[in-house]
Amino acid sequence: MEDEKVQNVTTRLESGLSRRAFVKRGLAIGQAVFIGGVLVGNFAGCTTAQKKEEEAKAGGKKSIKFAHITDTHVTFSGKNGTALKEESFNIFRDVIDQVNNMPDIDFLLFGGDNINNTDPGAKDFNEFMDIMSGVKVPYFAQFGNREVSPLPPGIALSKKQYAEKMKGHGLDMGRYSWSVSPVPGLRILGLDTTIEGHDNGEIPAEELNWIKDQIIKYPNDVIITLSHHLLLPTWGNRDIPKWKKKYLLKNYLEVNAVLDAAPQIKACLMGHHHVSKVQTVNGLHYIASPATVQYPHAFRTITINDNEARLEFHQVRAQGIIELGQHKLLMSKNAEEYAGGSAGDILAYCHGGKGDNDVVLRLR
Ligand SMILES: [Fe+2]
């Protein structure tokens, strides 16, 4: 009975949200939301502009706002599961439409698994970039495990091919960890944590030395790191060896010791595990951001103002996607594992609470 009910919900949601149908409906939804969005956006923009003007008059520093978008897994192949692959580019289109309507956004950061890399050649990459073509602010990308593990190998993009195509957005040929300052005084260190052909991650000694050099080189910048893999477990005291191996950086303790000792490093942005979680150790904020392709189908914006960072949580605007994502996550074979024995808790774990999503963090 329960199965039948679940099946019906799946069928209804999936049939109502086929890719083609969503594109058509998406326009209508997007437009409706867009109209609302303009009202909200204009209101927010007005207040933001006034605030910035007042700050400028008072000699204050302009706030900096950027988005952390991760695990978009844009793809034309694969079925809807925990990750809504069949909706991946529709979700991504909505996310980019949302940031395009933020009048005060300065730049975008992509945390990896931007494409699923399971389509022949550059098909999914080209779709990703087509959606990005309307973006008017700078954006920077790091690798996820998907971009370095093409499936099938030799047909989808290799790590090198991906880097070549994403060149100029942080990544460069032969240099996969990068350092950019999109706004004076703020520096982003994009850390390549990937291991070619594998899902887990590490930062080798040579790259760790590069991080140390950056710390010495930029003592006065506010520094934020961007990496795909987790630098800290998000599952509390539970001992889950499988997760530790798959999601957590192999040498996270060694890396964290280096980052922790540099007071100008304020926060570490992470993805890969598809959960929203903020943890603070010695004043350093470890910020795991949710996936757009999986429930809660969300991304963050972060606004830095003096010694504070305001985190805001933005979900895809199509309620049908969120309902389908919730349903698929609850049905997941990993649900109990994720939630520590109570499958229903998986939604809360992936979604995060107020302290993970809408919160002001003090910068050390
Ligand atoms: Fe990943």
- How confident is the model over 177-196, as pLDDT tens digits? 999 999 999 999 999 999 99
CA atoms within 13 A on the CB side of 68: 30
Whether the bond into 152 is cis, omega within 30 of 0: yes
Question: Dihedral of CA 329/321/33/19: which sign?
Answer: positive
CA-wise closest residue to 356 among 318, 294, 302: 302
1: pLDDT strictly greater than 60:
no
pLDDT recorded at residue 36:
24
Determine contact, residues 89/126, Cβ cutoff 8 Å: no
Chain segment 323-337, per-residue pLDDT in tens: 999 999 988 877 766
- Report how far ligand 1's centroid is from the alpha carbon of 199 (Å): 7
Instruction: Name the architecture of domain 2-362.
Output: 4-Layer Sandwich (3.60)
State the distance from the centre of ligand 1 to the C-alpha of 146, rounded, in angstroms: 6
Percentage above 90 pLDDT, the chain: 70
| pLDDT at residue 213, rounded to an integer | 98
Q: What pLDDT shows up at residue 331?
A: 86
Report the separation in Å between the CA atom of 158 and the middle of ligand 1, taken as the mean of its atom positions: 16
Question: pLDDT band at residue 238, thresholds of 50, 70 and 90?
Answer: confident
Res 54: pLDDT: 53
- Is the pLDDT score of 247 beyond 60? yes
Side-by-side strand order, sheet with 277-281 = 178-183, 186-191, 222-227, 265-270, 284-288, 277-281
- The predicted structure's pLDDT at residue 340: 63
265-290 pLDDT per residue, tens = 999 999 999 999 999 999 999 999 99
DSSP code string of 110-139: E-S--B---SSBTHHHHHHHHHHTT--S-E
The answer to whether 332 and 338 are in contact (CB under 8 A) is yes
**For the chain, what is the largest distance between any 2 Cα atoms, rounded to a whole number of angstroms?**
66
| Helices 88-100, 123-132: inter-axial angle, 10-degree rounding | 20
Q: Residue 155: its pLDDT value, please?
A: 83
Expressed in angstroms and rounded, the spacing between residue 48 Cα and the centre of ligand 1 is 34
Ligand 1 center–CA 262 separation, angstroms? 27
How close is the Cα of 68 to the center of ligand 1, in Å?
15
The number of CA neighbours under 13 Å toward the Cβ of 162 is 29
Mean pLDDT over residues 156-183, rounded?
91
Q: Where are the domains of the chain?
A: 2-362
Distance 38 CA to ligand 1 centre (A): 34
What pLDDT score was predicted for residue 120?
Answer: 86
pLDDT at 8: 36
Task: Report the C-alpha gap between 256 and 281 in whole angstroms.
Answer: 10
- Distance from Cα 50 to the centre of ligand 1, integer Å: 40
Top pLDDT among 235 and 25 is at: 235
Phi-psi category of residue 4: left, alpha or beta, with phi > 0 → left and psi -120 to 50 → alpha = alpha
From ligand 1's centre to the CA of 246, what distance in Å? Answer: 9
Distance 112 CA to ligand 1 centre (A): 7
Centre of ligand 1 to C-alpha 272, Å, is 4
CA of 163 to the centre of ligand 1 (A): 17
- Spell out the residues 6+ positions from residue 213 whose beta carbon is closer than 8 angstroms to its own: none
Task: Give me ligand 1 centre to Cα 70, in Å.
Answer: 9
Q: Distance between CA atoms of 65 and 311, rounded to whole angstroms?
A: 10
Find residue 108's DSSP bridge partners: 67, 139
Quick one: what percent of the chain has pLDDT higher than 70? Answer: 80
What does the pLDDT look like over 197-231, one tens digit per residue?
A: 999 999 999 999 999 999 999 999 999 999 999 99
Residues 13 and 295 sit within 8 Å (Cβ to Cβ): no
Distance, CA 200 to ligand 1 centroid (Å)?
Answer: 8
pLDDT digits (tens, 9 = 90+) for 99-146: 999 999 999 999 999 999 998 889 999 999 999 999 999 999 999 999
pLDDT reading at 42 higher than 80: no
Judged against a pLDDT cut of 60, whether residue 306 lies above it is answered with yes
Residue 190 alpha carbon to ligand 1 centre in Å: 15
> Residue 147 C-alpha to ligand 1 middle, in angstroms?
9
**309 in helix, strand or coil?**
strand
Query: Residue 121's pLDDT is what?
Result: 86
Going from the Cα of 83 to the center of ligand 1, the distance in angstroms, rounded, reads 11
Q: What's the whole-number mean pLDDT along residues 168-180?
A: 89
| 113 Cα to the center of ligand 1, angstroms | 5
pLDDT, tens only, 62-98? 799 999 999 999 999 999 999 999 999 999 999 999 9
